[in-house]
Amino acid sequence: MISFIASRIGFAALVLLLLSGFVFTLFFVAPGDPARMVAGERATEIQVAMVRENLGLDRPVIEQYVSFLGRSLSGDLGYSYRNQQPVIELIKNRMPATISLCVGAVIMWLCMGIPIGIMSARHPGSLRDRVGQGFVLIGVSFPSFVLGMAALYFLYFMPRQAGFTLFPPGGYRPFLDNPGVWAWHMALPWFTLALTSAAIYARLTRGQLLEVLGEDYIRTARAKGLSERKVIYKHGVRSIFSPLTTQLGADIAALLGGALVTEQVFGLQGIGSLAVQSVQTQDRPVIIGVVMLAGFFIVIANLIVDFLYIVLDPRVRG
Amino acid sequence: MTVLSVRNLNIAIPTGDGHVHAARDVSFSVEAEELFGIAGESGSGKSVLSQAIMGLLPGALISGEILFEDRDLLKLSPREMQQLRGNRIAMISQDPLSSLHPFYTIGQQIIEAIRTHRQTSHEAALAEAIDILGRVGIHDADKRVNDYPHQFSGGMRQRVMIAMAIVLRPALLIADEPTTALDVTVQAQIISLLNNMRREFGTAIIMVTHDLELLSSVADHAMVMYAGNRMELGPGNAVLRTPSHPYTMGLLQSSPTHESRGPLPSIPGQPPSLLIEQKACAFAPRCPSVMDICRTQRPPLRRFDDNTQSLCWLENKAVRAPAIAAAAEESAAASKSSDIVVSVSDVRLAYGARSLFSKGGGVEVLKGVSLELPRGTTLGIVGESGCGKSTLARIIAGLLPPTSGDVEIEGKSIIDLDRQSWVEMRKRIQMVFQDPFGSLNPRRRVGAIIGDPFRIQKVAHGDDRKNRVRDLMELVGLNPEHYNRFPSEFSGGQRQRIGIARALALNPSIIIFDEPVSALDVSIQAQILNLIAKLQRDLGLSYLFISHDLAVVRHVSKEIIVMQGGQVVERGETEALYHRPQHSYTRELLAAADPNYRKGGGATAASISEALTP
Ligand SMILES: Nc1ncnc2c1ncn2[C@@H]1O[C@H](COP(=O)(O)OP(=O)(O)OP(=O)(O)O)[C@@H](O)[C@H]1O
Ligand code: SF4
Ligand SMILES: [Mg+2]
């Protein structure tokens, strides 16, 4: 047990190390001279060389990588080439918006998808099931940016035309200033990011639950005289937590991609837009920082999923 | 006092193809404390009947009466039915491995059953759960209540299921094949436990099974079903020893416990489709005594002096069918050559020893096993569950490398084969598994599943493959028209054959059967065993035949080895071993398989269980 946990943590660390090496190499072989970018278009060769030396870009790659690793571990991710701000500061500024967006969206899609899936599975083939299936179809067939645009059009633009404000067009308001305003501003982005996944989770929940409801132990539960509610929720739904958790681990890894698009549509100043800007300007320290941060969260999320799995399934515990 | 009285029950289940008539005009009654047996082939409607009594057949069209404690269950509201279920009527089902919820402790599950029907505190319910677990033979019940189902063996789980079913002292307990999935030694214990419990608590038991031998020793009354009809009803002894109906007779004669060797007199043909209206005797197409009238008019109910009732045109009790002309020419292939196709020398296997994280020595599952299988013959391997039979099979099939020792297939060692020869070798050896249910993908059609070996080995395409698959289906007694069905649409017994068909697909030279027939009805068992024997004669196949059922192994094997705790404790020619067992464990197994043993009841069972507990 302890050894299992230790090995998972060790593995997570290894993944992060490999990721750092990969990102570092990738940006080292990328075209363009970072020293020139920092020095500016009109700098002389001598100025560029000085900058290169200051940034340590003239030293051997391995040496650069090791010193990068060392600094990263102490929380120093270097300075942006573009505006000389510490990368860690830039990221810190952008974190609240992205975290709000992602956490809220995950909660929203779980709260939509799972109940819809359960509703479908309880009465397969019924009208309710067909409504649920329709939701799934709509959810999986629209890309999230289309959804975002549509949401903006119908819930912001049209009401505005009619003379009142239903939802704001975008922007981020800090949670601590006013949670109500925060949630009001986040509602549309959450919905946009969550809908597709909600549909996928509805489908997954329906399929898994239908399978579980055919199990012998569900018949045992009915034979005990339990109410249908208890049979479904206490015995049926309990069994699908594990597959849902597994899926969630995989989806969190893919979440940042969707968050990037959503941030753009709703003008949220988050990590996603930071990543876009820094790629456009070839701001390597920022790109590396963002990638490492994303990798860190994905690895942590999967660690949590692994542990949850142990908690949920006594058979894994041995 | 009559606990349950079923009158003129008809059950039709609507499906995509039409109505499945799973019970037709079935009547019987069960007295308090009685053990009432229901027997019949797969798909005869036994389980549907028991589910109808439990009120667990939503959507079915049910007519007639099910009187339980003077109330008609068919007229009760769902809410009233729910209050009876688990409380006055309880159920235990065939497979104890899957009938308990894997994520709750057994204590939680039993307490839930108690508190659903009774207002008691958690503590009181816990005490009661521990008490009942002790009574069904779970040692250290106060500690084990906190364990999860996977921490118990199959037999123990069935004890837990029984505990959960009887904890509220129901008036009626329905046991749907309670021992089919268990070892023969454990089976006897469970039956004697059920027997004691009904005496202790005055519970009437309906026992559904296809094991006639087992029923004949314990059932007070027995009912035999076929295609939803009640073919025969009467006192257990009369029905199961001197049956009145030709169908019951056929079932009895297919039973491999019979003294004969050589082909079993199986009942030819298949049970009829339940979709069509019956206007004649349902058994007519397969009946050895069939007359013209049987094919045109529904048979009347005959009553005989020994209190049996039979749905049949025959005026007298059925007679034993003449033994099928013994095609007992000792398999020619067997005698003509004596080359060894499988040779296992001193194979050992230890688990855990090489694992990354666990310290110390592992568990030694096989402690030096050697055996030889001559071409064209069958070697039987018997032993209780956990003695390493299946592990040995997997090693011989090349699915699991041994820790030490060597396995030679047709003269070639299979240790350290390169990939190409391994693939070749795997074509030569096929396995028929203990549990084909688990290995059938529920989302794929049966035709596709059976065609898998062709697809993987890239032989036979399109219509050719389809035809071969149909032939295979016919070979194992499946209706080829069911090509496009899903595994879930077959009854328990039928699904077992799908797995067998799949293994036969590539015409291998060696087949390892791992408990191939333990879950089949006797009549189907006989068909499969005969099929297995026929294939051996025709194709010169060599078999390793693993089973816990000595009667079955004896029937097919030339030689037998007996395993216990990872070792071979005895080996020898089948008949010699059967009549003059040398090792005490072999004698125990023989005693457990002997029908008279079960009649002996608890005492023998207890001594065996003692002998088996380390
Ligand atoms: N839910 C269902 N829907 C439609 N048909 C069903 C259903 N359950 C059972 N059947 C059909 O009813 C018939 C009787 O099935 P049942 O399970 O009662 O057989 P059984 O006698 O218990 O067989 P076995 O010994 O294999 O368990 C079979 O033809 C089966 O295919
Ligand atoms: S009625 Fe005729 S066909 Fe049916 S069992 Fe009796 S003898 Fe056989
Ligand atoms: Mg059944």
B82: contact with A, CB 8 A cutoff: yes
Q: What is the pLDDT of residue B328?
A: 36
Q: Which domains does chain A have, with CATH numbers?
A: 34-76 (no CATH), 87-317 (1.10.3720.10)
Ligand 3 geometric centre to CA of B67 (Å): 22
- Residue B140, phi then psi, degrees to nearest 5: 50, 45
CA proximity to B311, closest of B236, B225, B253, B242: B225
Residue B416 φ/ψ region, left for φ over 0, alpha for ψ in the -120 to 50 degree band, beta for the rest:
left
Ligand 1 geometric centre to CA of B491 (Å): 6
* Mean pLDDT in consecutive groups of 10 residues from the start of chain B, 614 residues: 94 88 94 93 88 90 94 93 94 85 95 95 96 90 92 87 92 89 75 86 90 84 94 91 90 67 67 82 89 90 91 84 40 51 87 49 79 88 81 85 86 80 80 65 80 79 83 79 77 70 81 79 70 75 85 83 87 83 82 54 38 38
ipTM of the predicted structure?
0.80
CB–CB contact A4 B357 (8 Å): yes
DSSP B258-318: SS--SS--PPPS-PPPSSSPP-S-TTGGG-TT--HHHHHSPPPEEE-TTS-EEESS-SS--
List, as own/partner pairs, every contact residues A143-147 make where C-beta atoms lie below 8 angstroms and the sequence separation is at least 24, other chains included. A143/A196, A144/A192, A144/A193, A144/A195, A144/A196, A144/A258, A144/A261, A144/A262, A145/A261, A145/A262, A145/A264, A145/A265, A147/A191, A147/A192, A147/A195, A147/A196
Q: Residue B239: CB within 6 Å of ligand 1?
A: no
Smallest CA–CA distance, residue A315 to chain B, in Å, is: 7
Taking CA atoms only, the protein residue closest to ligand 1 atom 24 is B42
Ligand 2 geometric centre to CA of A122 (Å): 45
Q: Which of B57, B101, B206 to mutate to test the interface with A (most CBs of A within 10 A)?
A: B101
Smallest CA–CA distance, residue A164 to chain B, in Å, is: 51
Q: What is the pLDDT of residue B50?
A: 92
Instruction: Residue B83: list chain A partners with CB under 8 A.
Output: 225
The domains spanning B1-88+168-186+197-255 and B364-593 adopt the same CATH topology: yes
Smallest CA–CA distance, residue A7 to chain B, in Å, is: 9
Model pTM greater than 0.90? no
**Pick from A3, A216, A219: CB nearest B357:** A3
**CB within 8 Å of A15: residues ≥ 6 apart:** A295, A299
Q: What CATH architecture applies to the domain B1-88+168-186+197-255?
A: 3-Layer(aba) Sandwich (3.40)
CB atoms within 10 A of CB B187: 23
Q: What is the pLDDT of residue A68?
A: 82
Rounded to a whole number, what is the largest CA-CA distance in chain A?
A: 86
Contact A241, A312 (CB under 8 A): yes
Handedness of CA B360, B366, B370, B373 (dihedral sign): negative
Taking CA atoms only, the protein residue closest to ligand 1 atom 28 is B43
pLDDT in tens, B189-211: 888 888 888 888 889 999 998 77
Domain positions in chain B: 1-88+168-186+197-255, 96-167, 364-593
**Distances, alpha carbon A303 to alpha carbons A5, A6, A238, A245, A290, in Å:** 9, 11, 21, 12, 20
Q: How many CB pairs under 8 A join A and B?
A: 73
Low-confidence ranges of chain A (pLDDT < 50): none
- Ligand 1 atom nearest B225 alpha carbon: 21
A126: contact with B, CB 8 A cutoff: no
Structure-token pair, residue A237 = 């739904």
Smallest CA–CA distance, residue B47 to chain A, in Å, is: 12
- CATH code linked to domain B364-593: 3.40.50.300
A220: contact with B, CB 8 A cutoff: yes
Ligand 2 geometric centre to CA of B318 (Å): 10
Q: What is the pLDDT of residue B588?
A: 81
A216: contact with B, CB 8 A cutoff: yes
CA proximity to B545, closest of B532, B564, B530: B532
| Dihedral angle of Cα B32, B34, B40, B44, to the nearest 10 degrees | 10
